[in-house]
Amino acid sequence: MEQYDVLVIGAGPAGLFCAIHAAWPGYRVLLLEKNPDPGAKLLISGSGQCNISHDGEIRDFLSHYGDHGKQVKPALFGFTNRDLIEFFRKRGLAMMTEENGKVFPETRRSADILALLIKECKERGVDLHCGEPVTSVTRTSDGFEITTPTMLYRSTVLVIATGGASYPKSGSTGDGYRFVASLGQPVTEIAPALTPLIIRNYPFAALSGISFERMHFSVWRAGKKIADHTGDVLFTHLGLSGPGILDASREIRVEDVIRLSFVGNLKREEFTADLSRRIQEARVWQIGTILAAYPIPERLNRKLLALSGIPEDLKGNHFSAEQRSHLITNCTEFPLTVTAPGGFSVAMVTRGGIALDSVNPKTMESTIIPDLYFAGEVLDIDGDTGGYNLQAAFSTGFLAGRSIRKKRESG
């Protein structure tokens, strides 16, 4: 049995950052990781390039966390995107910002981010034990007991930073939910988020790889529109992906209908009027040639004609009202029914987790169990693509670590 002042479970970005900022001279901090090495999911983030955060004002981040922007606000405002960039710059790793606002290390290597975090842990005296999975967590009269296959640890303070359940090959298998449930901490229902969508009777499999910038699409449920979105969309072999779809996926459920617009900013009535004008002006042209005036890829053009029951050689002067109605619908609000979201194996993050109403947003400490803290994706916080989730991991990790130190200093 070993005694520690702080024990952090999970050596991802949130756990590493929490341990770094909880460290205190003479204060024993242990970081436990079940994988052979730390930061497995961090290493594959951004295809190994690590989109660590996003540019802009931190107040603009709040709308990128769905309904939970208010709860994550203290963490984000307490350690901003500028603070994160400066943290790494001071230690010799500069950042770069792309035109789309995504922030990456100049080296474009996730491994450089991880190496710096591990180095910082060592310099601050944090003990890092890898290949040591936690099997159980229990509450004691003066702290916590944490059991692994080879050791029993006792700690005054416990931090759960185990990540969610997405990308289970990286070690994120939902362990933290089991640990906190055994302690009596509420956990909301979890599901994949930032995930592609699988479509029933998908008609565009042969067009896999075609992408659309800033496509307008809407989400319908039981015949009612529940949301409008604009974002980049990608056709896959099984359905839809791309940043716009991934960001919207947190609110999409099985049997929802996604309606895609292939005609840019034109609304249905605007496209109807414009198409009618073009047909009137070029009645002897083929419908496919007229349709080519819109930002629709050639292969999709032909597919939309076929799905609308329109022969490729049909000319404007033989274009029936029924054919026109089908084509207008398919161009402006093509309906695709969701069979399922992509599973945890392809989801970037997890929706749901430790209930935020049981966590003090100003400290990351449980409001139910004293000296129990949380950081990162294990919380019911999921952000959009573009660096928002890693920023939340670092910010909540920083807040938890700082809060632990403040409590130590004051007590």
- Specify the DSSP element, H or E, that contains 347: none
The model's pTM is 0.89
Q: Please state, rounded to an integer, the average pLDDT across all residues of the chain.
A: 95
The pLDDT tens digits for 319-363 are 999 999 999 999 999 999 999 988 888 888 999 999 999 999 999
Read off the pLDDT of each residue in 255-274 and give the average, rounded to a whole number. Answer: 95
More confident residue, 410 or 280: 280
- Tell me: pLDDT of 127 over 90: yes
- Tell me: pLDDT of 306 over 80: yes
- Tell me: pLDDT of 98 over 70: yes
- For 214-237, give one letter per residue: b (16+ CB within 10 A) or e: ebbbbbbeeeeeeeebebbbbbbe
The pLDDT tens digits for 180-226 are 999 999 999 998 889 999 999 999 999 999 999 999 999 999 999 99
Segment among 123-127, 258-262, 264-268 with least mean pLDDT:
264-268
2-192+344-410, CATH topology level: FAD/NAD(P)-binding domain (3.50.50)
Say what percent of the chain tops pLDDT 70.
Answer: 100
pLDDT at 309: 93
What are the sequence ranges of the domains in the chain? 2-192+344-410, 196-342
pLDDT at 171: 79
Task: Return the closest-CA partner of residue 397 out of 162, 177, 169, 191.
Answer: 162
- Which residues pair with residue 366 across a beta bridge? 359
Query: Mind giving me the DSSP string for 147-194?
Result: E-SS-EEEEEEEEE----SSSGGGT-SSHHHHHHHHHT--B---EEES
Cα gap 292→12, rounded to integer Å: 49
Using 50, 70 and 90 to split pLDDT, how confident is the model at 169? confident
E strand intervals along 200-254: 211-221, 224-235, 239-241
The pLDDT tens digits for 20-60 are 999 988 899 999 999 999 999 999 998 899 999 999 999 99
pLDDT at 411: 67
Using 50, 70 and 90 to split pLDDT, how confident is the model at 312? confident
202: helix, strand or coil: coil
